[in-house]
Amino acid sequence: FFFLESAVRILNMVPTKNVDKTPYEIWHGKVPNLSYLNVWGCEAYVKRDSADKLQQRSVKCIFVGYPKETMGYYFYFPPENKVIVARYGDFLERDLISQKFSGRDYDLEDDHMDTLPSENTSEIPVEPKSLGPPSKLIPIR
């Protein structure tokens, strides 16, 4: 839901092919301010109100959108499964770009078996050997 609202907000600030101005500029009569836009889905540190001095002052959240009714940002806080509104956040946009999303972090192994039958297809009878009592006991501590 939040990603759709964010996409609509950004599309209203981009000029269209038929008109030289943005829809925001036509409606409000001024150029939109784009300085507050951030990368959707990036991690951010958000300051939380805490009564205890020893608790952490900020928590790691995920940026999910812009509220209509107030200035600020929507952040998803996974440990509590809540969406919170905060006026400020320390966005980690550079960390999102520096992660290795385009490449592989590990090499793939060829784990498929040959589909060709082996030359020797005869069965070899195998008789199970009975295991006797252990010759030496090792105590477990």
Q: Which of 69, 71, 73 is nearest to 45 (CA)?
A: 73
pLDDT, tens digit (0-9, with 9 covering 90-100), for 83-118: 888 887 777 766 655 554 544 454 445 455 555 555
The domain ranges of the chain are 1-37, 38-100
Structure tokens at 90: 């320390």
- Whether residue 44 is predicted with pLDDT greater than 80 in this model: the reply is yes
pLDDT, tens digit (0-9, with 9 covering 90-100), for 61-79: 888 887 777 788 888 888 8
If you average pLDDT over residues 26-32, what whole number do you get?
A: 83
- Whether residue 43 is predicted with pLDDT greater than 70 in this model: the reply is yes
If you average pLDDT over residues 108-133, what whole number do you get?
A: 57
Distance CA 42, CA 8 (A): 18
Q: Give the pLDDT band of residue 32 (cuts 50, 70, 90).
A: confident
pLDDT at 104: 47
User: CA angle at residue 43 from 86 to 57, to 5 degrees?
Assistant: 55
